[in-house]
Amino acid sequence: MKKAILVNDYASVEELNKLFEQGYKVESVDDRGVYILNRDELKAEPIKTTINLDTKEIQEVVEKTAQRIRNMKDEIDNVSKQPRVRIEFDDIRDVPKVWVDGELIGNGADKKPLVSLKVDWNTDTAVDGHKEFDVNYYDITGERPMSRGFREGSLM
């Protein structure tokens, strides 16, 4: 914004000083005492805005998120308490039900039929012997069926 002011007495000098305090700067001055002043409106006047927030909605979202996190933690704690591998069978001639990390593989698992199961485990108190399990299944959940498995063992 531009302003022009004639400065030729004490009152006009005071008026000029007030304009300087408001952020005006001298653009030009002539030999008769006419000042052309300019002020950048964006810099001179701060933008004042009032924002009203309903914190009840925010608090509800925070509480729901906190509850979801607690539930997830409980689920993780429950999963970590389950054995990594669980094997069930009623008859030695049946295909066993095998769960690996809580996921059913084998009898009853339509998309992941069990191919083979090997468990080598001897309880020995005097000597730590070799312990191993090997679970193999056919994964037909994707576009291309694949042979997959889980294997874990200890070294002697």
Would you state the pLDDT for residue 102? 79
Element (H or E) spanning 104, and its range?
A: strand 103-106
Would you state the pLDDT for residue 43? 62
Would you state the pLDDT for residue 107? 65
pLDDT above 90: residue 98? no
For residue 156, the Cα-to-chain-centroid distance in whole angstroms is: 42
Report residue 46's pLDDT band, with 50, 70 and 90 as the boundaries: low
Question: What is the torsion angle, in degrees rounded to the nearest 10, for the CA atoms of residue 151, residue 140, residue 90 and residue 130?
Answer: -10
Question: What is the torsion angle, in degrees rounded to the nearest 10, for the CA atoms of residue 9, residue 14, residue 19 and residue 22?
Answer: 180
Higher pLDDT, 83 or 8: 8
pTM for this predicted structure: 0.42
Higher pLDDT, 22 or 77: 22
- What is the rounded distance in angstroms from the CA atom of residue 140 to the CA atom of residue 107? 14
Report residue 47's pLDDT band, with 50, 70 and 90 as the boundaries: low
Helix, strand, coil shares of the chain, percent, nearest 5, are: 30, 30, 40
SS3 at position 113: coil
Domain boundaries in the chain? 2-44, 85-153
SS3 at position 89: coil
- What is the rounded distance in angstroms from the CA atom of residue 115 to the CA atom of residue 5? 96
